[in-house]
Amino acid sequence: MRRIVVLLLACLLLPIAPSYATAIVDKPTVLRGPGQAKYDVELTGDATGRSWRGRERIAFANTTGKPLTEIYLRLWGNSWDGCESPVKLSRFEGGSAGALTVNCTALNVKLAKAVAPGERWMVAFDVVMTAPDRLERFGRVGAHSFFGNALPVLAVHDQAGWHLEPDLGVGESYYTLAADFAVRLKHPAALQIPATGVSSTVRKGNTVTTTSVAKQVRDFAFAAGPFQQSVVTSPGGTKVRTWWTGTVTPAAVADARTKGVAAIDDFSRRFGKYPYGEVDLVLNDQWGSFSGMEYPGFVLLIAPPDEEGPVVHELAHQWWYGIVGNNEYADPWLDESFATYASYLHWGDPQPDCWPGELEARITNDMPFWKQYGPGWSRFVYSYGSCMLHDLERFIGTPAMERLMRTYASTHWYGVSTPTDFKSAAEAATPKDLAPFWTSHQMY
């Protein structure tokens, strides 16, 4: 996510190299689950695209290492309205719905049987989602509806138990494992549907079915409305679809598209090739509390942008949150510091002397800490975390830092990283003793 902050950046675009790192799939040492999930979703929209109903099936493997008698679904779409519940589930198969907890954002599902380690199981349920009337990621703006953090997804279980963190309203709560999605959205032909994944459409009369397929993504977002769109393919081979609401100017569209094409190829060269084939830039000229928000293969953007615009930052999140996952609630710096650092790399700004010295709060704090800290928290997690990475680059040298970023990405590709994982990767990337560096940057 990108809060509305002002960043002054040099506009130096780096050249695009044709070779990319080879990615390998993460082999976690921590048992997390349910894993290897396949979401199969079919929803039918109303005439306006605001309300959708249908069925969601989630097949998964028990990768937790012990018998699984329950799962939790995260209904993040309920986080602003609590138990007023704009996301409603019913008619369960494969298990029975228990209590809604965590402000109605977590639903316990007792499985119909104890699922053995390694065994697969499936739950299915009816879904009704109605976009609330607000300028938000899950909301309705004029004739356009946005379904970010709306579709129910599996919660994560690991050695700490179930992760049922609350939504703090600023992003940085969403922790999921990579999964495959196949989503069919039936809607009036007058509606356009940007969505996570590679999308295709079939029209029958006045009804269109938009089918979106995405492999190894952590979430599925879409929007519905009378969007205009353009499609270009980047020199590196990624299809960049730009979608915009009616009042976004042609100049703002062109700006986002140009920056998006450059960024997706630059980050592919730096961190490993963007694996999803297609990315959707979804532009709107008003949002309530943010300037950009990342979803797999789908980013929400304010247009026109500020000096830099959020597009580069949100596309950096395709790697740092999306491909390389993390528990955002526990370690927000692992996605935001890295997305910010990546943006500065892209713009060619090494941020000399930006580390401010002794900090009153460590950048590695968790979201409960930052919630208490209040306004200004993002300076630490976004800016100072990025400064730490720039300092690390200066300390170990740019070639070693470039290898580190690529190796770190490939090691955790589609997996989950932790602060220990990153520090270990950094220590393996240089013969230098990093202990003094971690101490001087309060990274302990």
Q: What residue ranges in 17-137 does DSSP mark as E strands?
A: 35-45, 51-61, 68-74, 87-93, 95-101, 106-115, 120-130
Q: Which is nearer to Zn ion, 59 or 316 (by Cβ)?
A: 316
Nearest approach, Cβ of 3 to Zn ion (angstroms)? Answer: 8
Give the SS3 label for residue 340: helix
Rounded Cα distance between 88 and 184, Å, is 19
Q: Which is nearer to Zn ion, 100 or 302 (by Cβ)?
A: 302
- Chain positions contacting Zn ion, by CB under 5 A: 1-2, 336, 339
Q: Which is nearer to Zn ion, 130 or 378 (by Cβ)?
A: 378
Cα–Cα distances in angstroms (integers) from residue 193 to residues 188, 252, 256, in the given order:
10, 20, 19
Cα–Cα distances in angstroms (integers) from residue 356 to residues 34, 161, 174, 339, 352, in the given order:
41, 37, 29, 19, 11
209, 184 Cβ separation under 8 angstroms = yes
Q: Which is nearer to Zn ion, 158 or 165 (by Cβ)?
A: 165
Nearest Cα residue to 105 out of 152, 162, 172 = 152
Nearest approach, Cβ of 313 to Zn ion (angstroms)? Answer: 6
Scanning the structure block, which residue is given the tokens 């879409």?
222
Residue 360: which residues within 8 A CB-CB, separation 6 or more? none
Q: Which is nearer to Zn ion, 2 or 406 (by Cβ)?
A: 2
Nearest approach, Cβ of 336 to Zn ion (angstroms)? Answer: 5
Nearest approach, Cβ of 430 to Zn ion (angstroms)? Answer: 27
Nearest approach, Cβ of 81 to Zn ion (angstroms)? Answer: 24
Nearest approach, Cβ of 382 to Zn ion (angstroms)? Answer: 7
Q: Which is nearer to Zn ion, 1 or 253 (by Cβ)?
A: 1
Nearest approach, Cβ of 65 to Zn ion (angstroms)? Answer: 32
Cα–Cα distances in angstroms (integers) from residue 192 to residues 49, 84, 231, 232, 373, in the given order:
9, 28, 14, 17, 41
Q: DSSP for 158-177? A: ETTEE--PPP-SSS------
Cα–Cα distances in angstroms (integers) from residue 423 to residues 386, 414, 420, 435, in the given order:
15, 19, 5, 10
Here the tokens at position 116 are 């053995």
Q: Which is nearer to Zn ion, 265 or 336 (by Cβ)?
A: 336
381, 361 Cβ separation under 8 angstroms = no
- As beta bridge partners, residue 348 has none
Rounded Cα distance between 353 and 262, Å, is 27
Nearest approach, Cβ of 136 to Zn ion (angstroms)? Answer: 16
Shortest-Cβ-distance residue relative to Zn ion: 1
Q: Which is nearer to Zn ion, 5 or 213 (by Cβ)?
A: 5
Nearest approach, Cβ of 87 to Zn ion (angstroms)? Answer: 24
Q: Which is nearer to Zn ion, 363 or 429 (by Cβ)?
A: 363
